[in-house]
Amino acid sequence: MLLKAEDVTMSFGGFRAVSGASLTVTRGEVVGLIGPNGAGKSTFFNCLVGDLKPTSGRVWLEGHEVTNASPEEHAKLGIGRTFQLPATFEELTILENVMVGAFLRHPHVRQAREAAQHVLELTGLSDLADQKAKMLGTPGRKRLEIARVLATEPKLMLLDEALAGLTPSEVQKAIELVRKIHSSGVTLVIVEHIMEVILSLTDRVLVFNQGKVIASGAPADVVNDPAVIEAYLGRSHARRQGTH
Ligand code: ADP
Ligand code: MG
């Protein structure tokens, strides 16, 4: 078991953003996490990587309990996440941004630069290496966010809407990139609204609604589950399907 989260609850004041959510991820899997805006998906990710300490529940990474570990400890143990809103250093170059990630395992500048260059090749950003991050548009930013995390050499990567805001052809290219990352040996948990992405990339899907996991299973089954259609896609989708 690579990741195990048991009964994770995260309250803000009296509001439970995540309410008793559990997830286990086995090495090599691609797990999808779907659900409407505000369902608690990003908050759950925050609890898994140490950005938030859950109000209750426990999290293990390869058998090490990490419930109260710092984000740095999580990163060292091999879990990394992308941010829904890319966290780029605008005035640094694209190469330098990726080096920030690479320093986790390569404390010397030369090695960090080499590792970062390798990641830029993998993510198709090599040609832009020396440009400042602020020059990037949405697709480039999304790629850089993935590259920054990849440079920490994670075993498990959590992608939080890493493909949101892309055009259909950019989405296709991003799907190829995610496949490449997976085949390089990285286990993935993907939050994504685009059903095509979920259906084409994931082995298994969990559906979040109001902080709870309301369904899970094979992607094709889950997206056809009427409760899921109602909760996640809303009535407009159900109407289009002719069921309302
Ligand atoms: P999702 O990623 O599924 O769209 P989020 O995890 O971002 O959902 O948010 C879940 C709920 O928790 C939302 O209602 C959001 O407003 C609330 N929330 C998230 N972070 C905080 C916070 N730091 N303080 C208070 N409420 C928060
Ligand atoms: Mg979110």
3-state secondary structure the chain: CCEEEEEEEEEECCEEEEEEEEEEECCCCEEEEECCCCCCHHHHHHHHHCCCCCCEEEEEECCEECCCCCHHHHHHHCEEECCCCCCCCCCCEHHHHHHHHHCCCCCCHHHHHHHHHHHHHHCCCHHHCCCEHHHCCHHHHHHHHHHHHHCCCCCEEEEECCCCCCCHHHHHHHHHHHHHHHHCCCEEEEECCCHHHHHHHCCEEEEEECCEEEEEECHHHHHCCHHHHHHHHHHHHHHHCCCC
pLDDT, residue 209, reads: 93
Domain ranges of the chain: 1-78+154-171+185-244, 91-153
Ligand 1 in contact with 39 (CB < 6 A)? yes
pLDDT, residue 68, reads: 96
pLDDT, residue 243, reads: 42
Cα–Cα dist 32/91, whole Å: 33
pLDDT, residue 201, reads: 95
Tens digit of pLDDT at every position of the chain (244 positions) = 999 999 999 999 999 999 999 999 999 999 999 999 999 999 999 999 999 999 999 999 999 999 999 999 999 999 999 998 888 999 999 999 999 999 999 999 999 999 999 999 999 999 999 999 999 999 999 999 999 999 999 999 999 999 998 999 999 999 999 999 999 999 999 999 888 899 999 999 999 999 999 999 999 898 888 888 887 666 555 445 444 4
pLDDT, residue 230, reads: 82
pLDDT, residue 242, reads: 45
Q: What's the CA-to-centroid distance between 102 and ligand 2, angstroms?
A: 26
In CATH, the number for domain 1-78+154-171+185-244 is 3.40.50.300
Which residues neighbour ligand 2 (ion) by CB within 5 Å? 41-42, 84
pLDDT, residue 172, reads: 94
Protein residue with least CA distance to atom 21, ligand 1? 12
Q: What's the CA-to-centroid distance between 14 and ligand 1, angstroms?
A: 13
Q: What's the CA-to-centroid distance between 66 and ligand 1, angstroms?
A: 22
pLDDT, residue 193, reads: 87
Q: Which atom number of ligand 1 is nearest to the Cα of residue 12?
A: 25
Ligand 1 in contact with 41 (CB < 6 A)? yes
pLDDT, residue 229, reads: 82
Q: What's the CA-to-centroid distance between 84 and ligand 2, angstroms?
A: 6
Q: What's the CA-to-centroid distance between 109 and ligand 1, angstroms?
A: 37
pLDDT, residue 27, reads: 97
Protein residue with least CA distance to atom 5, ligand 1? 40
